């Protein structure tokens, strides 16, 4: 930040800086500028008088104050009993040392006449005075916080600022600062001195030790977790500074890294480690280890009282990868909301260089802030789509620049080659460009949600629809079959295409049964037919992508968003199933069965996949009461030959089709749930199922149910 001063504060070099008022200002009872300008203050400079500063006396702590009161009470009691009960020499000496006023007698015994014993009224007055002085001291400290903010805003801070601060828009403190400098607009982003974090109490430390928070996994496991994170999580959510954590790892000081952020990283990385890692740590499954890592991160988040908001944003986004039955499977929604709130508190949604180039913010900080904000936006959009929740972020309120690939690469340039080869993917620059494309698709998804799914907004016009559609079709997607792609790069390329197809489904699906405003009545039926075909084509493209992922063995790279992207296609297939054509029904049913097999594979890692599978089993039972899910290869081998299984599936499909032709509504026969469907998969729908029937849900199962 430029080190300039406000016009009224241009003074000679100060030799002293104090937070209290000078003697002259105290006598006149006016505000002193010592805290900002140093000695002499503005008032004394104008009066050409000597600026006298009386050093503040050290203020007693509350503990010292209580001890003094006890001494006064003891002295008072002993003074009253001294005549009738003479004290020993030792007791007399204590009484003398405790007495604030008075001299000892000849024999060292306090003389009642000489000792000024405070009365009860005097003790109460002294106590009230002490409390009042403490309150005044707190008020001075609180005012000093405001002074530090103004000092940093004017570029006059003499300390090294560490904590980012955002003064807000023109309705907040920024307006007050602009009044002080009308000709030169001030930056709304600057750094203020950080506050010392309170150490953990013994009780908190004991609790953290009992929960295992202070005990890291084995060194080899930590290395595997960190490598998995940098290969699979960082390319789609680049929220940490890679060179910092790798420096700790290289020097064998990983235990000195921020423990909250470290457990958050591990909880997100567990999804991608080999079984040997969780087995050597004593866990029976990947999900068990993931639950343990998340529990420790959440415990540290709650107890540590972390003051670094950047760390809180990073850990919140990473803990948003966790999902379980508690809180109706909405932990990702909760943690992402926490991260967004913290981002807006720090002003990460605003461009720090909006008025002028901000010298107080480094390029590295700019890149990190952009990554944090756009990672929060990415999660907000796609979780809103998945859970049918409103978006928390409105881009109209934001002017932060769109990220570029260099933002992700800035903190890996100085990493030694031997460390980089061991932990980072070779094609990280390519993966960085994929992330930029994901952010662009997220922006388009936000526009689609705002147009198609608001509960109280009027229907969009044809022109509005075509404008949004043209922007989506302009998006440049990565090549799925480019030469030289590693398996990791191929998966991430497919992953971008899955997001694109889900975006198209969001755009077209609502218009399969309704039309935009301004469309002629004669064109509405043809319009709706074309929208249904486009949505169905996007769902079929999704099937093709998952088929390619399965054939190439790339499903092991799937992330937490993958099941939700598949669910979007499955809902569209179920809409197509209501067609009266028998062949269309059979083809659609086969597409759904393929999706169910993919979802069965994903549920080995992600609980949300089990949730979706249970929901779709119920839905399929609703439209096809005789439907039974396909058996996995292991069950086929155990129960029958492949030929008999094929005949059985054909028989089931034909029976389901004939049954569905009798009418759109049938009672659900729970006895038909068999094979791979556990009671757990179909019994935990509860409130989450209800949320999917909400009218505001983007993929409303209520609409789906009503058309069947």
Q: Mind giving me the DSSP string for 423-457?
A: HS-TTHHHHHHHHHHHHHHHHHHHHHHHHH--SSS
Cβ-based neighbour number of residue 399 at 10 Å: 10
Q: Is the pLDDT of residue 503 over 90?
A: yes
What's the pLDDT at 354?
75
Of 87-91, 213-217, 355-359, 521-525, the poorest mean pLDDT is in 87-91
Q: Is the pLDDT of residue 303 over 80?
A: yes
Token look-up 């669910």 returns 567
Q: Which residues contact 582 (CB under 8 A, 6 or more apart)?
A: 657, 661
Average pLDDT over every residue of 453-475: 92
Looking up tokens 């789509």 gives: 385
Taking the CB of residue 627, how many other CB atoms lie within 10 A of it? 25
Is the CB of residue 552 less than 8 Å from the CB of residue 619? Answer: no
Is 634's pLDDT higher than 70? no
Average pLDDT over residues 634-657: 43
**pLDDT of 175 strictly over 90:** no
Which has the closest alpha carbon to 33: 140, 138, 133, 147? 147
Q: Which range, 113-117, 235-239, 650-654, is most confident?
A: 235-239
For the segment 3-22, the average pLDDT, to the nearest whole number, is 46
Residue that wins the pLDDT comparison between 589 and 239: 239
Determine which helix (DSSP H) or strand (DSSP E) holds 494, and give its type and residue range: helix 487-508
Phi, psi of 184 (to 5 degrees): -120, 100
Res 687 pLDDT > 90: no
Q: Tell the burial category of 442 from Cβ atoms under 10 Å away from its Cβ (0-12, 13-18, 19+).
A: buried
What is d(CA 317, CA 303) in angstroms, rounded to the nearest whole number? 18
Return the percentage of the chain with pLDDT > 70, whole number. 65
Average pLDDT over residues 411-415: 91
| Tens-place pLDDT, residues 80-123 | 343 344 333 333 333 333 333 334 333 343 444 344 445 556 55
Q: Binning pLDDT at 50, 70 and 90, where does residue 135 land?
A: low
Residues 6+ apart with CB under 8 A from 622: 666, 668, 705, 708
Cα 362 to Cα 602: distance, rounded to the nearest angstrom: 42
Can you give the pLDDT at residue 183? 65
Span 427-448, mean pLDDT? 96
Identify the pLDDT of residue 213: 94
Contact present, 656 and 610 (Cβ < 8 Å)? no
- Residue pair 118/80 in contact (Cβ under 8 Å)? The answer is no
For 391, phi then psi, to 5°, come to -75, 140
320 vs 122, higher pLDDT: 320
Task: Note the pLDDT of residue 115.
Answer: 42
Q: Residue 384's closest CA among 269, 472, 506?
A: 506
pLDDT band at 669 (very low <50, low <70, confident <90, very high): very low
pLDDT score recorded for residue 315: 97
pLDDT value for 165: 73
pLDDT at position 121 is 60
pLDDT at 232 over 70: yes
User: Is the Cβ–Cβ distance between 242 and 295 less than 8 Å?
Assistant: no
Distance (Å, whole) CA 566 – CA 612: 9
Q: Residue 221 above 70 pLDDT? A: yes
Backbone angles phi, psi at 534, to 5 degrees: -65, -40
Burial 517-548 (b: 16+ CB within 10 A, else e): eebeeeeeeebbeebbebbbebbbbbbebbee
- The C-alpha atoms of residue 277 and residue 182 are separated, in whole angstroms, by 61
pLDDT confidence of residue 330: 83
Q: What is the pLDDT of residues 239-279, one digit of tens each?
A: 999 999 999 999 999 999 999 999 999 999 999 999 999 99
Least confident of 148-152, 378-382, 439-443, 554-558: 148-152
For the segment 580-608, the average pLDDT, to the nearest whole number, is 90
| Residue 517 DSSP SS3 | strand
Give tens-digit pLDDT for 379-406. Answer: 999 999 998 889 999 999 999 999 999 9
Residue 543 or residue 110, greater confidence: 543
pLDDT of residue 31: 73
Higher per-residue pLDDT: 312 or 199? 312
Q: How confident is the model at residue 50 (pLDDT cuts 50, 70, 90)?
A: confident
Mean pLDDT within 693-700: 48
The residue ranking higher by pLDDT, 152 or 567, is 567
Name residues whose C-beta falls within 8 Å of residue 694's C-beta, 6 or more positions apart in sequence. Answer: 388, 700, 702
Contact indicator for 165, 191 with CB cutoff of 8 Å: yes
Return the C-alpha torsion angle 402, 404, 408, 410, nearest 10: -110
Q: Please, what is the average pLDDT of the chain? A: 77
Structure confidence at residue 513 as a pLDDT band (50, 70, 90):
confident
Compare 81 and 586 and report the one with higher pLDDT.
Answer: 586
CA end-to-end span of the chain, whole Å? Answer: 63
Taking 90 as the threshold, does the pLDDT of residue 543 lie above it? Answer: yes
Q: What is the pLDDT of residue 352?
A: 85
- 447-485 per-residue burial string, b: 16 or more CB within 10 A, e: under 16: bbbbbbbeeeeeebeeeebeebbeebeeeeebeeeeeeb
Residue 683: per-residue pLDDT: 42
**High-pLDDT (> 90) share of the chain, %:** 46
Q: Which residue has the higher pLDDT, 644 or 702?
A: 702
More confident residue, 74 or 49: 49
Most confident of 138-152, 187-201, 564-578, 615-629: 564-578
Q: Is the pLDDT of residue 534 over 60?
A: yes
User: What's the pLDDT score for residue 454?
Assistant: 85
Residue bearing the bigger pLDDT, 638 or 333:
333
User: What's the confidence (pLDDT) of residue 598?
Assistant: 96
Confidence class for position 456, pLDDT limits 50, 70, 90: confident
């Amino acid at each position: 930040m430029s080190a300039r001063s406000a016009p009224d504060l241009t003074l000679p070099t100060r030799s002293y800086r104090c937070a209290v008022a000078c003697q002259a200002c105290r006598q006149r009872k006016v505000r002193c500028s010592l805290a900002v300008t140093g000695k002499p203050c503005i008032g004394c400079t104008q009066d050409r008088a000597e600026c006298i500063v009386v050093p503040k006396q050290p203020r007693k702590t509350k503990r010292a104050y209580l001890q003094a009161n006890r001494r006064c009470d003891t002295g008072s009691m002993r003074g009253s009993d001294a005549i009738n009960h003479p004290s020993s020499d030792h007791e007399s000496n204590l009484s003398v040392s405790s007495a604030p006023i008075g001299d000892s007698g000849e024999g060292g015994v306090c003389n009642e006449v000489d000792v000024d014993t405070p009365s009860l009224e005097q003790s109460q007055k002294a106590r009230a005075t002490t409390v009042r002085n403490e309150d005044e001291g707190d008020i001075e400290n609180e005012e000093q916080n405001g002074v530090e903010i103004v000092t940093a805003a004017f570029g006059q801070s003499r300390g090294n600022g560490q904590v980012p601060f955002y003064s807000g828009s023109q309705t907040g403190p920024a307006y007050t600062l602009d009044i002080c400098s009308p000709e030169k607009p001030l930056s709304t982003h600057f750094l203020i001195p950080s506050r010392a974090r309170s150490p953990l109490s013994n009780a908190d430390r004991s609790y953290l030790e009992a929960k295992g928070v202070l005990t890291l996994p084995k060194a080899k496991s930590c290395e595997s977790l960190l490598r998995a994170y940098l290969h699979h999580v960082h390319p789609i959510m680049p929220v940490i500074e890679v060179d910092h954590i790798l420096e700790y790892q290289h020097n064998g000081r990983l235990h000195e890294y921020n423990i909250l952020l470290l457990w958050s990283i591990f909880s997100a990385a567990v999804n991608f480690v080999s079984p040997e890692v969780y087995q050597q740590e004593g866990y029976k499954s990947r999900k068990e280890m993931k639950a343990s890592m998340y529990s420790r991160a959440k415990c540290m988040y709650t107890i540590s009282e972390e003051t670094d908001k950047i760390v809180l944003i990073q850990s919140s986004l990473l803990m948003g990868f966790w999902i379980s039955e508690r809180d109706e499977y909405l932990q990702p929604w909760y943690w992402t909301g926490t991260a967004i709130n913290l981002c807006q508190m720090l002003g990460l949604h605003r461009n720090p260089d909006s008025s002028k180039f901000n010298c107080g913010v480094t390029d590295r900080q700019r890149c990190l802030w952009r990554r944090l904000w756009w990672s929060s936006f990415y999660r907000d959009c796609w979780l809103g789509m998945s859970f049918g929740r409103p978006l928390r972020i409105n881009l109209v309120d934001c002017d932060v620049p769109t990220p570029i690939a260099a933002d992700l690469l800035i903190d890996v340039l100085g990493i030694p080659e031997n460390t980089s080869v061991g932990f980072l993917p070779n094609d990280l620059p390519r993966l960085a460009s994929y992330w930029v494309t994901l952010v662009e698709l997220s922006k388009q998804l936000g526009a689609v949600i705002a147009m198609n799914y608001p509960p109280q907004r009027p229907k969009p016009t044809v022109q509005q629809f075509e404008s949004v559609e043209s922007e989506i079709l302009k998006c440049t997607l990565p090549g799925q079959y480019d030469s030289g792609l590693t398996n990791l790069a191929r998966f991430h390329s497919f992953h971008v295409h899955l997001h694109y197809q889900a975006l198209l489904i969001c755009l077209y699906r609502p218009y399969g049964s309704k039309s935009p405003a301004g469309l002629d009545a004669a064109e509405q039926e043809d319009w709706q037919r074309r929208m249904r075909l486009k949505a169905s084509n996007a769902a079929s493209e999704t099937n093709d992508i998952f088929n390619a992922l399965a054939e190439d063995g790339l499903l092991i790279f799937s992330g937490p968003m993958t099941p939700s992207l598949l669910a979007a296609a499955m809902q569209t297939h179920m809409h197509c199933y209501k067609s009266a054509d028998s062949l269309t029904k059979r083809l659609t049913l086969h597409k759904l069965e393929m999706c169910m097999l993919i979802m069965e594979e994903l549920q080995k890692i992600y609980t949300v996949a089990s949730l979706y599978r249970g929901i779709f089993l119920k839905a399929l039972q609703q439209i096809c009461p005789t439907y039974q899910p396909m058996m996995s290869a292991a069950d086929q081998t155990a129960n029958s030959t492949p030929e008999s299984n094929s005949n059985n599936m054909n028989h089931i499909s034909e029976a389901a089709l004939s049954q569905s032709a009798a009418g759109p509504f049938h009672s659900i026969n729970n006895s038909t749930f068999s094979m791979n469907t556990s009671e757990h998969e179909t019994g935990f729908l509860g409130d989450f199922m209800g949320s999917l029937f909400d009218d505001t849900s983007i993929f409303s199962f209520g609409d789906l149910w009503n058309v069947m």
